[in-house]
């Protein structure tokens, strides 16, 4: 089998070349790449491999496909604050994506909003960032911030409530 | 900006570029563009002032001898190879920040593909309000506005896509092959050449605009960097020992970006992911990931998942999904 690194090298070579179609077979694995017009298509079909060849370079990593417990996050752990207050008629500002929650525009700046702050629909209340894409989250409702449910630097999930707002 | 006038100028420049090293008569230019010879003469004077080497010889006409590395609206537009990106160009000699300007334009409804370029930024910024050193005439400071019809949670993938386009463009024009440090820092020998800052304008879960800011150190001398940056940043000139054509690099970035972006919109992230991995510096290596809270995780960079999230395996075999962190390759 080809190593992932070797496949990457191949892709780069083909991508930079004028070759439109490329097929390569080794040890029962087949790689086919096809560039069509402006788009490149890369398909790797692992042909069903009868029995592993006896001699195989030892993988340094653990069995590649072994199911692994995937931790959802770094170490910060779930920091679910039980919002015991009756929030049924409060507006929730939810995170539109998975990412890191920032309460201020830069580390040494003031926070966007504190509990008790009045907000308009287009007031920025926080930033959620993933892979260096920064999303300024707006309140989307006019009212007063009742509670802040996430803390600076915390990883937040898609749909996770970030703020409770008492709408006017 | 006097659009009408400057458009004629751009078209003259394009004719000269298309016929490089040949003489074009003033009359021919007039006939093609439907303007007077005096107007042509005036525009040529302007172009010469902008740094274009244009000979004018009596009875023969005008001839461009060498392309100018100088940055100007005409120069960027003259050999643009894209269908859409960059044609709506807002060029400024100096701006506080191209990113800020692009934000305003996007809010005012600027078209998909609008590009803001400045020859200098007085208050250029990186992520989280960090200052970005961007002196006059040495680099590429630009912000691109795009309005893709994609789900909001997919938008971070575009930061990876951008880094691939930029690495390809640098290689095309300068021959330097940089690598990418997750998610989108562009490095050579451990020093940062390009920084990319991507910001989103959204309404609830609907993407209104994505603004991609690119800052590239091109022709600065190593000595020009502030002391605190010298160890961490470098320009392309400091690697190759010569100046590089900034308009050509911008054109190449846009060309590669458009190609990858269209592929992405039609076929999804998979191909972009493979390309990104082929330039990735950290995969298969031991790295430190420092999170915003200040925690550091040490582990093996296994790869990225289908969203572009970094997979980091610690010693105990746990795979951590890293959405944001500063990466240091050990």
Q: Do B279 and A135 touch (CB under 8 A)?
A: no
Q: How confident is the prediction for chain B on average, in pLDDT?
A: 91
Q: Select from B183, B324, B326, B327 the residue whose CB has the most chain A CBs within 10 Å, as the one to mutate to test that interface.
A: B324
pLDDT band for position B300 (50/70/90)?
Answer: very high
Q: Do B318 and A152 touch (CB under 8 A)?
A: no
In chain B, CATH 3.30.930.10 sits at: 73-279
pLDDT at A72: 40
- Interface membership of A38 toward B (CB under 8 Å): yes
- Topology (CATH level 3) of domain B286-329: SH3 type barrels. (2.30.30)
pLDDT at B216: 96
Which of B308, B128, B211, B108 shows the shortest CA–CA distance to A127? B128
Q: Would the pLDDT of A47 be above 80?
A: no
Q: Do B274 and A42 touch (CB under 8 A)?
A: yes
Q: How far is residue A128's CA from residue A136's CA, in Å, rounded to a whole number?
A: 7
Give residue limits of the domains in chain A: 4-65, 67-167
In tens, the pLDDT along B24-66 reads 998 899 998 888 989 999 999 988 887 788 888 888 899 987 6
Higher pLDDT, B237 or A56: B237
Judge whether B192 is annotated as a binding position: yes
ipTM tops the 0.90 cut: no
> Which structure tokens are listed for B322?
């890293």
Q: How far is residue A154's CA from residue A136's CA, in Å, rounded to a whole number?
A: 16
Q: Do B200 and A136 touch (CB under 8 A)?
A: yes
Q: How far is residue A64's CA from residue A151's CA, in Å, rounded to a whole number?
A: 36
pLDDT band for position B311 (50/70/90)?
Answer: very high
Q: How far is residue A132's CA from residue B181's CA, in Å, rounded to a whole number?
A: 12
CA distances from B203 to A83, A105, A124, B277 (A): 26, 19, 12, 32
**C-alpha gyration radius of chain A:** 25
The listed CATH number (1.20.140.10, 3.30.710.10, 3.40.50.450, 1.10.10.10) that belongs to domain B4-66:
1.10.10.10
Considering only the beta carbons, identify the residue of B204, B284, B300 that sits closest to A96.
B204
Which H or E run contains A167?
strand A161-167
The CATH superfamily of B73-279 is Bira Bifunctional Protein; Domain 2 (3.30.930.10)
Q: Please say whether the beta carbons of A167 and A140 come within 8 A.
A: no
Q: Do B204 and A12 touch (CB under 8 A)?
A: no
pLDDT at A114: 96
Phi-psi region of B312 (alpha: psi -120 to 50; beta: other; left: phi over 0): beta
Q: How far is residue B279's CA from residue B181's CA, in Å, rounded to a whole number?
A: 9
pLDDT band for position B68 (50/70/90)?
Answer: low
The listed CATH number (2.40.50.100, 3.40.1390.30, 3.40.50.720, 3.40.50.620) that belongs to domain A67-167:
2.40.50.100
Judge whether B147 is annotated as a binding position: no
Q: Please say whether the beta carbons of A123 and A138 come within 8 A.
A: yes
> Minimal Cα distance from A60: which residue of B?
B284
Measured in residues, chain A has a length of 168
In chain B, CATH 1.10.10.10 sits at: 4-66
pLDDT at A54: 40
Q: Would the pLDDT of A152 be above 90?
A: yes
The contacts of residue B221 (CB under 8 Å, 6+ apart) are B235, B237, B238
Query: What burial class does residue B75 get, using C-beta atoms within 10 Å of its C-beta: 0-12 exposed, 13-18 middle, 19+ buried?
Result: buried
Backbone φ and ψ of B249, nearest 5°? -65, -45
In tens, the pLDDT along A67-78 reads 444 334 444 444
pLDDT at A86: 60
In chain B, CATH 2.30.30.100 sits at: 286-329
pLDDT at B294: 86
Segment of B75-84, B103-112, B220-229 carrying the highest mean pLDDT? B103-112
Higher pLDDT, B16 or B309: B309
Higher pLDDT, B147 or B78: B147
pTM value > 0.95: no
Spell out the alpha helix ranges (H) of chain A. 4-16
pLDDT at B128: 77
Higher pLDDT, B130 or B241: B241
Q: Please say whether the beta carbons of B214 and B196 come within 8 A.
A: yes
């Amino acid at each position: 089998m080809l190593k992932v690194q070797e496949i990457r090298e191949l892709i780069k070579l083909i991508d930079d070349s004028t070759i439109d179609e490329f097929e390569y077979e080794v040890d029962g694995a087949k790689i086919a790449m096809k560039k069509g017009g402006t788009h490149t298509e890369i398909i790797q079909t692992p042909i069903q491999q009868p029995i592993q060849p006896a001699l195989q370079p030892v993988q340094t990593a653990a069995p590649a496909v072994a199911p692994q417990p995937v931790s959802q996050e770094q170490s910060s752990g779930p920091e679910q604050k039980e919002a015991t207050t009756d929030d049924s008629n409060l507006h929730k500002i939810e995170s539109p994506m998975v990412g890191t929650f920032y309460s201020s525009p830069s580390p040494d700046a003031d926070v966007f909003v504190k509990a008790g702050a009045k907000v308009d629909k287009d007031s920025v209340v926080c930033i959620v960032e993933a892979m260096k894409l920064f999303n300024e989250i707006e309140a989307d409702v006019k009212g007063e911030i009742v509670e802040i449910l996430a803390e600076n630097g915390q990883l937040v999930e898609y749909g996770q409530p970030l703020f409770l707002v008492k709408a006017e | 900006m006097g659009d009408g006038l400057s458009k004629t100028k751009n078209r003259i420049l394009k004719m000269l570029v298309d016929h490089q090293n040949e003489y074009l008569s003033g009359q021919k230019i007039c006939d093609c563009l439907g303007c007077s010879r005096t107007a042509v003469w005036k525009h040529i004077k302007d172009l010469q002032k902008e740094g274009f080497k244009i000979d004018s010889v009596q009875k023969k006409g005008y001839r461009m001898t060498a392309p100018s590395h100088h940055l100007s609206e005409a120069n960027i537009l003259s050999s643009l190879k894209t269908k859409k990106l960059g044609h709506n160009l807002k060029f400024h000699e100096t701006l506080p920040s191209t990113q800020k300007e692009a934000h305003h334009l996007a809010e005012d409804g600027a078209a998909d593909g609008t590009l803001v370029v400045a020859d200098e930024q007085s208050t250029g910024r990186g992520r989280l309000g960090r200052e970005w050193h961007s002196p006059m005439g040495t680099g590429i400071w630009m912000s691109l506005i795009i309005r893709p019809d994609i789900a909001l949670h997919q938008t971070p993938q575009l930061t990876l896509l951008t880094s691939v386009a930029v690495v390809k463009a640098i290689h095309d024009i300068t021959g330097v092959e940089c690598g990418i440090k997750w998610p989108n820092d562009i490095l050579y020998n451990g020093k940062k050449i390009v920084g990319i800052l991507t910001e989103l304008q959204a309404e609830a879960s609907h993407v209104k605009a994505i603004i991609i800011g690119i800052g590239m150190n091109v022709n600065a001398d190593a000595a020009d960097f502030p002391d605190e940056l010298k160890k961490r940043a470098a320009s392309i000139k400091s690697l190759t020992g010569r100046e590089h054509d900034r308009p050509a690099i911008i054109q190449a970035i846009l060309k590669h970006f458009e190609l990858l972006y269209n592929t992405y919109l039609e076929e999804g992230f998979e191909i972009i992911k493979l390309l990104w991995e082929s330039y990735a510096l950290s995969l298969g290596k031991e790295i430190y990931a420092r999170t915003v809270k200040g925690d550091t995780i040490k582990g093996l960079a296994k790869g990225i998942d289908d969203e572009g999230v970094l997979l980091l395996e610690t010693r105990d075999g746990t795979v951590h999904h890293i959405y944001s962190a500063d990466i240091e390759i050990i």
